[in-house]
Structures are given as C-alpha cells and as structure tokens.
Amino acid sequence: MNMSVASDSPVHSSSSDDLAGFLETELDSDSASSSESFPIDEAAEEDDAEVSNHRLKRRKLEHIETVDEDEIEDVASVKFSQEVSEASSSKLPCEHPGTFGNMCIVCGQTVEEEETGVSFTYIHKGIKFNQDEVTRMRDIDMKMLQSQRKLCLVLDLDHTLLNSTVLRDLKPEEEYLKSLTHSLQDVSGGDLFMLEFMYMMTKLRPFVHSFLKEASKMFVMYIYTMGDRPYARQMAKLLDPKGEYFGERIISRDDGTVRHQKSLDVVLGQEKAVLILDDTENAWPSHKDNLIVIERYHFFASSCKQFDHRFQSLSQLKSDESEPDGALATVLKVLRQTHSLFFEDGGEDLSSRDVRSLLKQVRKEILKGCKVVFSRVFPTKFQAEDHPLWRVAEGLGATCATEVDESVTHVVAMDVGTEKVRWAIREKKFVVHRGWIDAANYLWKKQPEENFGLEQLKKQGTDDKSDDVGLEK
C-alpha cells in the first residue's frame, strides 16, 4: 500500500496546505498517539472550507471514473481532507444516539455504560441505541411502511409456524417420519426436515409457505422466538431460504431484553402498526392488544406431552392440519382484513390509525348481535364481569348479561339441569357449552351452535383442557 499519499495530494486551496501536512503526520504514526481526540485544524475558516470542498468534490468525481489503485488513494486523501474541514466547521454537540461497545457511533467518544439504551444484538453485537434514537428510527420506519402500504408483523416460531422435536423424544410410531424428510440442499417445497447436527427434526405448519408469501406483500416481517440464536437462524433458513421475508430481522431469546418475556422494544416499528402472531399469550405481557393468538401446532408427540395433553399428536395419527382451512389460513384472512382497514381511504390521516383498535374492531364482528347469558360457568363468588370468558365474549362482540330476558340469544352452560338452560330450551334459544366461545375466538368465526351442544360435552368427557382447543378431526 502506497503510504506517501499526502505528498501526492492534489489539494490546492490555502487551508489544505495545513491539511496535507497533517495527513502526513497522521498516516505515518504507528503507535497509539497520546492525543485523545482528532487534531482538527481549528484555524480553517468556514468559507475556505466551503471553497476547498467544492474543488475537492469536483476532483473526487473525476477520479471515480477510473477505478485504479493509485488514483483511488488520491481520491481517498481528497475525501479525507474534505471530512476534516467539514468536521472543523460543524460545532453541534454530539447527542450520542447510540453506542457500539462503549463508543458513541457518531463522535467516537466513550459514553458511560449506565446510560439507558436498548441493545439491538440481532442487528449487530454490541450496538445500543438510546430511547430517543429508537423513537426516531421508528418514525422513519413508519413513513417507509406507509409509502409501501405495509404494516409490521412479528411471528413466533414454535407451535405457530412450525413444530420441532428433539430426535431423542421421537416415539416408535413416529419413526416412519425419518424416511419422509426433505433434503436440506434445496428446502423449497419441503415441510419436514431432519437436522441431525442439531439433534432435531422440524415440521413446518401446513400453508406456511403461502402464508409467508401473501403476508409479505402486506407486512414487513420479524421472527421472534424463545429459541436461541442458532436455532432461530436455522429455522429462518427453512422458512425463508432466500432471506426475502425476514432478512436480518430475526430476534431470538439471546436478543431479547427481558428473560422469558417478549417485547416490542427491540422491534423497529411503531406499536400502533405492529401485529403479533404467537401461540402463547403470556409471552407478551405488555402487548396483548397487538397479539393474535393462534392455535398451537402439535405435530410431534413430544409437543403434546410438553403441554400435558393426552390426545394423540398429528404424527401419531398420521394426519396433518388442513391446508386451506387451517389456523394459518384463518389468520391470514384476519391479517388481510386488518390491513385493508388500516389503509382504507377514509377521511382520516393514516398517522392516527392504530392497528390495535382495528384488530379489536375485526374481532367484534365475530359474535356481533349475540346476547349471551352464562349458567353455572363461573364460580358463584366470582364477579361475573371480571371472568376471562365474559371478557372474551365481549371482545368478540357479544353482549353479556347475568339474567335472562327476551333479547338473549345464547345460554352458555356446562350442565343441563339449570333454570337458565330449561328456560332456553323452552324459548328455543341456543344452548352451548363454553367451547363455542373459545372456538369463535380461535377460528375468528361464529361456529354452528349444533357442534357445541351440551350432549357433545358429555361425549368428550374430560379429555381436553377447557381452555385449550384441541385440533379436532
């Protein structure tokens, strides 16, 4: 590398004689110099700096035409001196928007560690931005999203888009799967993968490829998983081999700020424009309004066991979720609806729209027009209005009441012998068990009441946990 650049510098203006000499000393220094800060030529007048800038710019453009080692070094020194003269004319104090290690990313000064900032390790290890900067970045992101007519979607991996199992946990009746795995060389079109090097097998949820393709037209997508970084990246390779859906937006538990919790603090999207798809509500304690809870995907036996379910997994039943009718297809419809409501041409300014209230709106359509009374569903001492099921029903658009009257349409009960049930049968009102409400919640659609009659309850016995909808076949 030619180190005598300084002497070849084609800079001509008066102030840059100092710069040339300065360049020479800087480039020749071979040990950490004693001076902390960059010796900036304070004497350079702003006007002179401007003039030299213009000349340097023109020269720089000429040089760029021919890409040649020597010439580039000249360009380099030209640009370099331009930088210094610029630095001397700007006197604004640095706001330290972020740090890399403990250095400010703008001015290079050491910034104390105590200053609060959010670590964005999924972008690069060691980078931290302060809250103001994060807000600024989110605002920029919002503008970009709006210009593309897109919102933000955060996706969970396990039991949402896929199901993984450790090879050790495979049951004998699942061994047949080993012969059905897809090649890792070209993952497109494959659903079942053997990852020997990670001692696991992964099954992608039916419809996931179409889901991602369609959703990517409406959303900028993130992966947010409680798995570790290598797992997250490997799953991303299976779901998104070209990196077109997620890019670098892969957040693993190693990148989260609070253990065992997920939060939108490391997502560079404004909260009013982010939707989350996850099978676990409690993973998102501060963002329940952004969340669409999806039915858990239990393909492997180990997955059912993990959740203490006694029903057989799909692999054991040699079956799978329906592609066109499954959970992902349903969620896609909801996403489309919410997205189109957001970008609907109304009178409103887009900046006042909030995806959370729109999601609530979509949900309230499901049981709109239903008036529900509960019978023996809540413990007697319990304040009915506070019960989660009451809240869910209201969230779905139903009106809830404690007493029966003409306007009641449905009685939700767990037992045939009650007053309210007898009244309902007399008045030809619907009698359903609570599964009818749960199903509406997960399937985003009012379900036929016949499928949730109390006789059904007796048939099923106590197989399913009442708060988890098993995959019904």
Partner 1 sequence: MQLHPRFFGQNLRENLVSKLIKDVEGTISGRHGFVLVVTGIESIGKGLIRDGTSFVTFPVKYRCVVFRPFKGEVLEAVVTTVMQHGFFAEAGPLQLFVSNHEMSDGMEYQAGEMPNYTSSDASVRIQKESEVLLKITTVSVVATEIVRTISITLFTMQLK
**Binding interface with partner 1 (CB under 8 A):** 1, 26-27, 29-33, 38, 53, 57, 60-61, 64-65, 67, 69, 72-73, 75-77, 79-80, 82-83, 86, 97-98, 100-103, 105-106, 108, 110, 123-127, 137, 140, 144, 243-244, 247-248
Q: How far apart are CA 367 and CA 411, in angstroms?
A: 14
Q: Which neighbouring-strand residues pair with 329?
A: none
* Minimum CB distance to partner 1 smaller for 123 or for 416: 123
Shortest approach of partner 1 to residue 243 CB, angstroms?
Answer: 8
- Between 239 and 373, whose beta carbon lies closer to partner 1? 239
E-strand spans in 320-370?
A: none
Task: Give φ, ψ of 381 to 5 degrees.
Answer: -75, -15
Minimum CB–partner distance for residue 368 and partner 1 (Å): 41
Strand partners, 412: 374, 432
Q: Which is nearer to partner 1, 61 or 258 (CB)?
A: 61
Mapping DSSP to helix (H, G, I), strand (E, B) and coil, where does residue 162 land? strand
Two structure tokens written together for 116:
């609060």
CB 94 within 8 A of CB 107: yes
The b-or-e profile of 96-116 (16+ CB within 10 A means b, else e) is bbbbeeeebbeeeeebeeeee
What token pair was written down for 45?
């007048």
Closest separation in Å from C-beta 5 to partner 1 = 9
To partner 1, the closest distance from the beta carbon of 151 in angstroms equals 17
Min dist CB 105 to partner 1, Å, is 5
Place of tokens 């909808």: 469
Chain-centre distance for alpha carbon 168: 31
Nearer to partner 1, 20 or 103 (CB): 103
CA 102 to CA 146: how far, in whole Å? 34
Measured distance CA(434)–CA(447) in Å, rounded: 12
How near is the Cβ of 93 to partner 1 at its closest, in Å?
Answer: 14
Q: Which is nearer to partner 1, 5 or 355 (CB)?
A: 5
Which of helix, strand or coil describes residue 55? Answer: helix
Closer to partner 1 by CB, 42 or 349: give it: 42
CA distance 112 to 388: 46
Report the residue number, 135 or 460, with the smaller CB distance to partner 1. 135
Q: In terms of CB distance, is 141 or 449 closer to partner 1? A: 141
- Minimum distance from residue 191 beta carbon to partner 1 (Å): 25
Give the other-Cβ count within 10 Å of 87's Cβ.
15
Q: Taking the alpha carbons of 204, 209, 214, 219 in that order, is the dihedral positive or negative?
A: positive
